[in-house]
């Protein structure tokens, strides 16, 4: 989604803004822009459609040594991707960058007759509205911003500068993140702390309903109702190396390959193989509260939803007297669901900023239900608003396609289920295999990634010309198939869908022909033989099957077999998902598409 950066200090603002915007590229964007102000207020506004490199071409002819400025990467919502719709937007003496959506922009626009609109954006309306209260500097900028925001409905993270006060940036947020980086004699802003790395480790996370006036050596925060807020300075935990490719061609491959380490971070201090228990401090629920849980709602979008769905299969196998309802946030937020007593909601999100997931969290909290975050991004909005939570600690995920977060989200949720089971008195003999398998999973993941890598690369090369894929699985392999199909479609643009094997004959079997391949996930276990019968049905109709299995005796005449040699009885689907991740990666490389920033998508979906 859109990204914001800003700088005020003694260094070259253009340099900071461009490098900051590059750090935010991963979020997805279609145009970019910056404005800087000289000491006398002269503004240099540069905007370009497309990649930041296009903006840099303009910059090369417009180098300035200004010490203050704001910048933006835009992901189009209102108006096509174009230079005129790119931010910053100007109105009178002010410039504004905006993340989010102003819902009542049409209504507001009607009242702003004096401003000549140049773009089709809701953001320019907000700029014009602020300017209407600013009255060419007759009121302090921050007051004009506050007056305008009181009339704006919707979501925003904004930064505003004025030619008439070229030593200050005014920022505000409601529903769209904003971080203030505190340096020595310089202050920075960003919509994502990764843009601040290498400049400062000290950050202030603005809360919804807060506005701040930022100068090079001061930050003053207040609420929209003019109540002063004392700034809480926090340490940014991420390191610069975590947001670099580290020798890999793409962030996606790096993130797939670092899953042994990232899962280890999720497990650190939480698994006790000696007594066969797991312990999660973050949720903050007492044994008694855990014992009482009868209903678990799991909320997420995209991959986070798939993680919740997969975890629900595991949790219901080990936790008695519990019903689990995994839900898609964008649907659930508008449903009239009845939430029974003794419910707990798990709110799953890598970024911790997904608008639909956040909206569900707020709705669920209103109903008095305890909310537990399964979040990666530290200090994110969801992490701060849940009642308790478990960070998955996988480090920054830069590639738009989520990979390492999925693996850790599933395991974190299974561990949460295990803490409920422990409290409900489930026998150690039931839980022990889970504890042991979780503890060894990082190593098993490492072995799997090494042993299947070349084979998956070959198979993906073979199917690179296909445009249709069907992912199939049963039981825990079904949500895994859903996740595999999502991964493939979002980066390789192959039309991939997932079905439960048992559903094939209810419709999808009609699709089988030479245009399609079938990616069959076949873990050993209770339903293996039934899944094999389904594969036979596909083969009998001329399907092109790629089988992924850990059954050594597998001998069907499929087109390709990817064997898992590293053993995990319980978590074989997690290992199969590694195969799906690599397969999607190599299909995309073979097709020549942008692996890390697929078209039309954004990493953090902060609009509805
Ligand atoms: O940051 P979140 O986990 O809340 O994001 C949810 C989805 O937007 C995300 O998983 C999306 O589906 C990814 N592109 C999947 O790879």
pLDDT tens across 43-72, in order? Answer: 999 999 999 999 999 999 999 999 999 999
Mark whether 444 and 556 lie in a shared domain: yes
State yes or no: pLDDT of 1 exceeds 80. no
d(CA 283, CA 538): 45
Q: Closest Cα partner for 98 from 174, 45, 40?
A: 174
Ligand 1 pocket check for 302: Cβ under 6 Å:
yes
Mark whether 175 and 279 lie in a shared domain: no
d(CA 46, CA 68): 14
Q: pLDDT per residue over 142-184, tens digit each?
A: 999 999 999 999 989 999 999 999 999 999 999 888 999 999 9
Atom index in ligand 1 nearest the CA of residue 403 equals 16
pLDDT attached to residue 233: 94
> Which one of the listed residues 67, 163, 216, 603 is annotated catalytic?
603
Q: pLDDT per residue over 176-231, tens digit each?
A: 889 999 999 999 999 988 899 999 999 999 999 999 999 999 999 999 999 999 98
Supply the Cα-derived Rg of the chain in whole angstroms: 25
Confidence of residue 581 (pLDDT cuts 50, 70, 90): very high
Mark whether 38 and 97 lie in a shared domain: yes
In a domain, 606, yes or no: no
Determine the distance separating the centroid of ligand 1 and the alpha carbon of 403, expressed in angstroms. Answer: 10
For position 435, which CATH number holds?
A: 3.40.50.10490
pLDDT attached to residue 183: 96
State yes or no: pLDDT of 237 exceeds 90. no
Mark whether 576 and 438 lie in a shared domain: yes
Mark whether 208 and 305 lie in a shared domain: no
Determine the distance separating the centroid of ligand 1 and the alpha carbon of 240, expressed in angstroms. Answer: 23
Enter the tokens of residue 573: 């689907």
Ligand 1 pocket check for 605: Cβ under 6 Å:
yes
Q: Closest Cα partner for 567 from 477, 441, 454, 475?
A: 441
d(CA 303, CA 397): 13
Confidence of residue 606 (pLDDT cuts 50, 70, 90): confident
Of 212, 243, 274, the one marking the end of a domain is: 243
Confidence of residue 28 (pLDDT cuts 50, 70, 90): confident
pLDDT attached to residue 17: 97
State yes or no: pLDDT of 535 exceeds 90. yes
Where helices occur in 243-301 by DSSP H, the ranges are 251-257, 259-267, 287-292
Question: Which residue's CA is the nearest one to ligand 1's atom 9?
Answer: 302
d(CA 525, CA 433): 15
In a domain, 365, yes or no: yes
Domain residue limits at 491: 254-591
Mark whether 298 and 439 lie in a shared domain: yes
More confident residue, 585 or 193: 585
More confident residue, 88 or 238: 88
Following CA atoms 169, 174, 179, 182 in sequence, which dihedral angle do they give, to the nearest 10 degrees? Answer: 50
Percent of the chain with pLDDT over 90: 87
d(CA 129, CA 141): 12
Confirm if 603 and 26 have CB atoms less than 8 A apart: yes
Confirm if 146 and 79 have CB atoms less than 8 A apart: no
Confidence of residue 243 (pLDDT cuts 50, 70, 90): confident
pLDDT attached to residue 551: 95
Confidence of residue 378 (pLDDT cuts 50, 70, 90): confident
Q: pLDDT per residue over 281-318, tens digit each?
A: 889 999 999 999 999 999 999 999 999 999 999 999 99
Most informative mutation of 251, 252, 305, 402 for ligand 1 (most atoms within 8 A of CB): 402
d(CA 111, CA 94): 19
In a domain, 122, yes or no: yes
The residues pairing with 6 across neighbouring beta strands, listed in sequence order, are 70, 189
Of 194, 216, 243, the one marking the end of a domain is: 243
C-alpha distance across the termini of the chain, in Å: 11
Mark whether 27 and 55 lie in a shared domain: yes
Ligand 1 pocket check for 371: Cβ under 6 Å:
no
What beta strand segments (E) does 113-205 contain? 156-162, 169-174, 179-182, 187-190, 202-205
Most informative mutation of 358, 398, 408, 605 for ligand 1 (most atoms within 8 A of CB): 605
| Residue partners of 307: CB distance under 8 A and separation at least 6 | 300, 348, 374, 405, 406, 409, 410, 413, 483
Determine the distance separating the centroid of ligand 1 and the alpha carbon of 268, expressed in angstroms. Answer: 24
Ligand 1 pocket check for 343: Cβ under 6 Å:
no
Enter the tokens of residue 98: 């905006």
Ligand 1 pocket check for 401: Cβ under 6 Å:
yes
Mark whether 266 and 188 lie in a shared domain: no
For position 119, which CATH number holds?
A: 3.60.20.10
State yes or no: pLDDT of 275 exceeds 80. yes
pLDDT attached to residue 504: 95
Q: pLDDT per residue over 398-457, tens digit each?
A: 999 999 999 999 999 999 999 999 999 999 899 999 999 999 999 999 999 999 999 999
DSSP state for residue 104 in the 8-state scheme = T
d(CA 224, CA 146): 6
Helix, strand or coil for residue 579?
A: helix
In a domain, 604, yes or no: no
Mark whether 307 and 159 lie in a shared domain: no
Confidence of residue 75 (pLDDT cuts 50, 70, 90): confident
In a domain, 473, yes or no: yes
State yes or no: pLDDT of 387 exceeds 90. yes
Determine the distance separating the centroid of ligand 1 and the alpha carbon of 603, expressed in angstroms. Answer: 7
DSSP state for residue 192 in the 8-state scheme = S
Ligand 1 pocket check for 354: Cβ under 6 Å:
yes
Ligand 1 pocket check for 303: Cβ under 6 Å:
yes
DSSP string, 405-425: HHHHHHHHHHHHHHHHHHHTT
State yes or no: pLDDT of 501 exceeds 90. yes
Count of Cβ atoms closer than 10 Å to residue 316 Cβ: 14
Q: Is residue 2 annotated as part of the catalytic site, yes or no?
A: yes
More confident residue, 258 or 135: 258
Of 219, 243, 267, the one marking the end of a domain is: 243
Enter the tokens of residue 102: 């102003």
Confirm if 264 and 408 have CB atoms less than 8 A apart: no
pLDDT attached to residue 246: 83
Determine the distance separating the centroid of ligand 1 and the alpha carbon of 605, expressed in angstroms. Answer: 8
In a domain, 58, yes or no: yes
Mark whether 172 and 295 lie in a shared domain: no
Atom index in ligand 1 nearest the CA of residue 302 equals 12
DSSP state for residue 115 in the 8-state scheme = S
The residues pairing with 174 across neighbouring beta strands, listed in sequence order, are 156
> Which one of the listed residues 2, 22, 216, 360 is annotated catalytic?
2
State yes or no: pLDDT of 338 exceeds 90. no
In a domain, 285, yes or no: yes
More confident residue, 608 or 418: 418
Ligand 1 pocket check for 349: Cβ under 6 Å:
yes
Distances (CA, A) of 4 to 27, 35, 94, 97, 288: 11, 12, 16, 7, 45
Question: Which residue's CA is the nearest one to ligand 1's atom 14?
Answer: 401
Q: Closest Cα partner for 497 from 43, 512, 313?
A: 512
d(CA 262, CA 408): 8
In a domain, 318, yes or no: yes
Mean pLDDT score of the chain: 95
Ligand 1 pocket check for 350: Cβ under 6 Å:
yes
Determine the distance separating the centroid of ligand 1 and the alpha carbon of 604, expressed in angstroms. Answer: 7
Ligand 1 pocket check for 357: Cβ under 6 Å:
yes
| Residue partners of 146: CB distance under 8 A and separation at least 6 | 172, 211, 224, 226
Mark whether 408 and 310 lie in a shared domain: yes
Confidence of residue 500 (pLDDT cuts 50, 70, 90): very high
pLDDT attached to residue 4: 96
Please confirm whether the linkage preceding 88 is cis (ω < 30° from 0): yes
Q: Closest Cα partner for 1 from 401, 373, 400, 377?
A: 400
Q: What is the mean pLDDT of residues 254-279?
A: 95
Helix (H) / strand (E) containing 343? strand 343-349
Atom index in ligand 1 nearest the CA of residue 354 equals 4
Confirm if 274 and 235 have CB atoms less than 8 A apart: no
Count of Cβ atoms closer than 10 Å to residue 529 Cβ: 8
Following CA atoms 474, 477, 482, 488 in sequence, which dihedral angle do they give, to the nearest 10 degrees? Answer: -130
pLDDT attached to residue 79: 84
State yes or no: pLDDT of 80 exceeds 90. no
Q: Closest Cα partner for 29 from 608, 604, 595, 589?
A: 604
Distances (CA, A) of 171 to 20, 59, 125, 142: 17, 25, 17, 9
Helix pair angle (477-492, 572-591), 10° resolution: 10
Mark whether 424 and 328 lie in a shared domain: yes
State yes or no: pLDDT of 567 exceeds 90. no
Confirm if 55 and 34 have CB atoms less than 8 A apart: yes
Confidence of residue 257 (pLDDT cuts 50, 70, 90): very high
User: How many separate domains does the chain show?
Assistant: 2
State yes or no: pLDDT of 136 exceeds 80. no
Confirm if 425 and 551 have CB atoms less than 8 A apart: no
Confidence of residue 137 (pLDDT cuts 50, 70, 90): confident
Ligand 1 pocket check for 381: Cβ under 6 Å:
no
Atom index in ligand 1 nearest the CA of residue 350 equals 3
Atom index in ligand 1 nearest the CA of residue 601 equals 14
Q: What is the pTM of this model?
A: 0.84
Atom index in ligand 1 nearest the CA of residue 487 equals 16
CB < 8 Å & 24+ apart, contacts of 382-388: 382/347, 382/349, 382/352, 382/353, 382/354, 382/357, 382/358, 383/352, 384/205, 384/207, 385/358, 385/361, 386/347, 386/361, 387/284, 388/282, 388/283, 388/284, 388/285
Q: Quickly tell me which residue has 């996606």 as its tokens.
A: 252
pLDDT attached to residue 238: 78
State yes or no: pLDDT of 607 exceeds 90. no
């Amino acid at each position: 989604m859109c990204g914001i950066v800003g700088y005020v200090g003694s260094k070259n603002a253009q340099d900071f803004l461009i490098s900051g915007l590059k750090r935010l590229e991963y979020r997805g964007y279609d145009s970019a822009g910056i404005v800087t102000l000289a000491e006398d207020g002269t503004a240099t506004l540069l905007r370009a459609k497309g990649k930041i490199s296009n903006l840099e071409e303009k910059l090369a002819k417009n180098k300035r040594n200004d010490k203050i400025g704001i910048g933006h990467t835009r992901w189009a919502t209102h108006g096509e991707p174009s230079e005129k719709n790119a931010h910053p937007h100007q109105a009178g003496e002010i410039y504004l960058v905006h993340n989010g959506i102003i819902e009542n922009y049409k209504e507001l626009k009607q009242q702003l007759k004096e401003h000549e609109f140049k773009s089709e954006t809701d953001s320019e309306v907000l700029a014009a509205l602020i300017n209407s209260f600013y009255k060419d500097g007759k009121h302090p900028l921050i007051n004009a911003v506050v007056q305008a925001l009181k009339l704006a409905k919707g979501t925003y993270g904004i930064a505003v500068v004025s030619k008439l006060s070229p030593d200050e940036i005014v920022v505000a947020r409601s529903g769209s993140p904003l971080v203030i980086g505190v340096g020595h004699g310089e202050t920075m802003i960003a919509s994502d702390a990764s843009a601040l790395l290498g400049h400062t480790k000290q950050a202030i996370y603005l809360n919804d309903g807060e506005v701040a006036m930022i100068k090079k050596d001061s930050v003053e925060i207040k609420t929209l109702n003019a109540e002063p807020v004392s700034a809480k300075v926090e340490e940014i935990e991420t390191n610069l190396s975590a947001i670099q490719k580290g020798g890999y061609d793409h962030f996606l491959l790096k993130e797939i390959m670092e899953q042994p380490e990232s899962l280890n971070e999720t497990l650190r201090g939480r698994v006790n193989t000696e007594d066969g228990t797991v312990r999660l401090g973050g949720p903050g629920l007492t044994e008694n509260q855990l014992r009482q849980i009868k209903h678990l709602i799991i909320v997420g979008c995209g991959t986070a939803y798939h993680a919740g769905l997969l975890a629900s299969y595991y949790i219901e196998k080990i936790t008695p007297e519990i019903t689990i309802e995994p839900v898609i946030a964008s649907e659930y937020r508008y449903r009239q669901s009845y939430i029974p007593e003794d419910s707990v909601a798990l709110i799953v999100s890598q970024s911790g900023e997904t608008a639909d997931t956040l909206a569900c969290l707020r709705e669920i909290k209103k109903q008095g239900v305890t909310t537990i975050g399964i979040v990666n991004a530290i200090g994110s909005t969801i992490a701060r608003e849940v009642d308790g939570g478990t960070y998955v600690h996988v480090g920054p995920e830069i590639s738009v396609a989520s990979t390492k977060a999925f693996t850790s989200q599933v395991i974190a949720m299974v561990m949460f289920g295990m803490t409920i089971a422990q409290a409900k008195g489930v026998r150690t003999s039931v839980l022990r295999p889970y504890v042991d398998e979780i503890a060894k999973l990082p190593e098993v993941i490492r072995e799997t990634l090494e042993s299947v890598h070349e084979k998956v690369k070959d198979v993906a090369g073979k199917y690179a010309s296909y445009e249709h894929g069907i992912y199939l699985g049963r039981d825990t392999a079904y949500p895994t198939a859903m996740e595999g199909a999502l991964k493939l479609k979002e980066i390789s643009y192959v039309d991939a869908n997932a079905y439960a094997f048992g559903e094939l004959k209810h419709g999808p079997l009609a699709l089988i022909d030479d245009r399609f391949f079938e990616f069959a996930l076949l873990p050993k276990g209770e339903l293996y033989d039934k899944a094999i019968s389904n594969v036979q049905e596909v083969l009998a109709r001329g399907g092109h099957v790629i089988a992924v299995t850990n059954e050594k005796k597998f001998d069907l005449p499929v087109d390709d077999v990817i064997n898992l040699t590293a053993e995990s009885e319980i978590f074989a689907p997690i290992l199969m998902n590694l195969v799906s991740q690599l397969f999607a990666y190599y299909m995309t490389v073979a097709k020549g598409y942008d692996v890390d920033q697929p078209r039309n998508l954004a990493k953090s979906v902060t609009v509805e």
